Structure formats: structure tokens, C-alpha cells
Chains A and B, each alone.
Chain A
């Protein structure tokens, strides 16, 4: 398989050898392992994009009823506040979109796992909300999703994209790395710079634990998606400005894996540590179980 890659270094050399983007390498590799035609594969990704776009707009338009009833209208609140936001109008809208998708997810609405359901808000928020300002077409966004997929595959192969294995760094960290690289590439960054953006994004939240209250994909997951989106945009911008990652992408991914291994299992999606066992967290868990 000519376009197979397992590391960031391999991905960059494939891009450089043929002067193609990360997205193009991903599409060509997918053609090697998928029986479908290029058109079908691109259409399948377009289907994902449309579902993402719908999840953003549903999250903005409707109040969601999440399972605990503790969230559901955060996206509307931040969207309404965007004009006054200290972080600026654009960033506030990006973060609001991440809240929107994750609130849709938490209320049994339809989303695209990217890479997981719990981290599904980061990638659509960053790509779709930046497309307004940058003038990305749907075709560009589909390419962005392929580029994000390539980064996710490297992380999945060499570390993990599951909170149960690697903590939140493996979910929101991976999602932010994928989104950062995709946004950077869509804005014209080289494959190396795009992976620098991904590396910085993981470095920024290395070690973050997965401590869901009542074991549910709700608190703190929804707000961490907003943080992940902000992190991704920050890292894409740093890379586009010419800032590099001191530690190369592949080494950062290895570090993430070893940090995940050192993490006590109480802090890996079991709801036995962190926020899940605070008095308020336990009280919420008890209330949910009584209802169930």
C-alpha cells in the first residue's frame, strides 16, 4: 500500500514526495483499503459534513433536553453573548458551536463521532464556523475532514482515542489536534506546520483526566468541547504564524500514550475520580440512578 502511514513523519514524507496535501494522502490511502470509488468515499464524507452542519444548527436553534437536565441551553447563551465576548465574536461563536453539537449529543440527537461521540463538538465547530470568515466551500470542508481523519488515525495507532484507555486527553486532545491540523491545512499551512498545530494542541491538554459526572457524556464533557475548539483555533493560528512545536508530533503522541498508561483507572471514564466524586457530582449521580 503506497499511501499507508503510521506516523506523522511518514505522513509528511508522503505529502512531500508527491507535493500533495494531508487530505489527498488520506483519500488515496482510503482508496487502497476501501472497495468503493473515490466519488463514493468523498460522498460518504460529505454525508458526515451535512450531519455535522445539521447538528450545529439544531444545537443553536432549539433548547436541548439533556439526560440530567443540567445543560441544554449553553450554546444559545454563549451565542447571544458573542458580541460582548472578551475572546472576540468569532471565537465565541466557534465555542458556542462546540457546545451546540455536544448538547445535541447529550440529548440523544444525531451527531458524527469525531473521533468519539463525547468529543464530537470540536471538529464541526472549528471547521464549519471558520468557513464563514475564510470562505471555505463544502468541498474544502470535506478535505478538512479527511485531513483530520489522517491525524486521528496516527493517534489511534500510536496512542488512543478512547477516554477509557487514555483519559480526556485522548478524546478532546485528539479532537483538538485533528481540528487544528485540518484548519491549518485549509488555511494553507504545509503538512509539517499542520502537524505542529496538532502537536501543540495535544501538549496543551496533556494529562487531562476523564471524570464524567454520573458516568454520562455531559458534565464536564460539553464545556470541554468548547475548550477543545478554542485550543484547536489557537494552535492552528500559532502554526500559521510560523510558531513550531518544540517536541515533534510523533513524540507528543507517544508522550500522550505513556501519560494515559500512568493514569489511575479511576480517572479513565469510570466515574470513580475527579469531578465525578465531588459532593455535587455524587449527588447528581444518585438523583439519576433514582430516576432510572
Chain B
């Protein structure tokens, strides 16, 4: 039986009206915000699926997703004004309803492009009580919650990459809580998702980029 925290019951503090359709949506957006690492945005495209598409307008799901992308937290009263915030920062925002069948009714896809041209496409689902699961990044199927500091590395799938990365983390005294690897096809693009107890410092990320051959892109959430 799950050991509940009292704050699972009295909490979270959040902007309404729905923990799954509003607070969870903000948290999916926040994953994109963290991936962008503070870079200025040019364009955001949101696609709402399932129940998000059906009742998302009334729950402010679209505004909540956008608020997260802009770095606004689920308990920040500015969530409802995210469209205005985006406009004031000259960010192009597009909202669509997707009719594809998703495996979870509360699913959203967020495409974000920065002024410098960096792009991310993130697919996330809101699984209840404000908890979320990220299931896709840039076309790669992944799975993580964003509850822990998360390191995501895209690399060419050759033997030895994983052990080199974890060796560096061990050397830097960073404890790995969970680790998963994903790939699109044999010996091609792969992705490792490492959830750690403490955030991985920038210096360690640079080390990984410098020392491990095959790492194409590395980012943190």
C-alpha cells in the first residue's frame, strides 16, 4: 500500500479548476521550459488530445500548458493570463485539437522553438492529482515524471556510451535514482533518461559532452 504524505491530501496549492486538467498541464509545460534552459521563445504550438481536447477550454488546459512553457508554476495566479504573457514577449502561439487516439485521455503535445532556432517537441500526459508523465521528446518514446532532476542525453547507439556516462556521474558523486534507455532502431539514434537525487551540475554535463563520443545533445529537466 502506498505511503501517503499528508500533503498529498491537503495540497497541492494550485490554480484551479482541476488538478489533472490545469495543475498537471502546467507541469507538462514546465518540462519544456526546463528543456529550453531559459532561452527566449519564438513560437509555441500546443495540441490537445482526448479529454484535454474535449473539456480543455473550460479547464484552462491550453492556458495552463502555455503558462508552464513560459516558466509559470502551477500555484502562480498568472497561469490564467499566460496568453497575455506570451503576447507581451512576442511569442507566436497556436492551439490545436488532435483527433488521434492516445493511450491516455489527458495527453498534450507541445512544440516550442526558440529565437535561436532550437526546437523541442514534448508529449506528456496528466495522470491525476497534478502528477504527469512525459512520454515523448523529439519523436523518441521516453518515460519520466519530472519529479526528480532529470538528465536526458541523445546519442548514437554504440557499445559503451551508457557506462561512460554513468562512470562520469559516479566520479562526480551524483547518485542515480532511476535510469532508462530508449532507441528508435538498432545502432541509430538513442536516448538515455537519468533521474538523479540532486541536479547534475553544468560542469559535469560539459564533461560528458567532452569525454563521451557519440553524445549528440544533452539537456536537463
Q: Say yes or no: is B57 at the interface (Cβ < 8 Å to chain A).
A: yes
Q: Once the chains are docked, how many angstroms separate the CA of A123 from the CA of B63?
A: 28
A198: chain B residues within 8 A (beta carbon): none
A148: chain B residues within 8 A (beta carbon): 9-10
Q: Flag whether A289 is at the interface (Cβ < 8 A).
A: yes
Residue A245 interfacial (CB < 8 Å): no
The total of Cβ contacts below 8 Å across the A-B interface reads 140
Residue in B5, B23, B79 whose beta carbon sits within 8 Å of that of A30 in the complex? B5
Would you list which residues of chain A between 27 and 69 have a CB under 8 Å from chain B?
29-30, 33-34, 44-45, 47-48, 51, 67-68
Task: Write out the residue numbers on chain A whose beta carbons fall within 8 Å of the beta carbon of B89.
Answer: none
Report Cα–Cα, A173/B77, bound state, in Å. Answer: 28
Whether the pair A113, B57 counts as a contact (CB closer than 8 A) is: no
Encoded as 1 (CB less than 8 Å from any B CB) or 0, chain A from 103 to 136 comes to 0111111111111111010010000000000000
Is B16 a contact partner of A117 (Cβ separation < 8 A)?
yes
- With a cutoff of 8 Å between Cβ atoms, the chain A residues found around residue B54 in the complex are 215, 289
**0/1 per residue, A155-167, Cβ < 8 Å to B?**
0110001101000
Question: B90 contacts the other chain (Cβ, under 8 Å)?
Answer: no
Q: Is the CB of A108 within 8 A of B6?
A: no
- Asked whether A217 and B13 contact (CB < 8 A) given A44-B7, A108-B22, A110-B75, the answer is no
B117 at the interface (CB under 8 A from A): no
B interface size (C-beta, 8 A): 37
Q: Is the CB of A105 within 8 A of B51?
A: no
Determine whether A146 belongs to the interface, using a CB cutoff of 8 Å to chain B. Answer: yes
Q: List residues of chain B with CB within 8 A of the CB of A227.
A: none
**Smallest beta-carbon distance A33→chain B, Å:** 6
Q: Which 7 A-B pairs have the closest CB atoms?
A: A292-B57, A105-B16, A152-B9, A215-B55, A149-B6, A108-B80, A217-B17
Given contacts A4-B3, A106-B16, A115-B10, 12 further A-B contacts (CB under 8 A): A67-B58, A67-B60, A106-B17, A112-B12, A113-B12, A113-B19, A116-B19, A117-B22, A153-B9, A215-B55, A217-B17, A289-B54
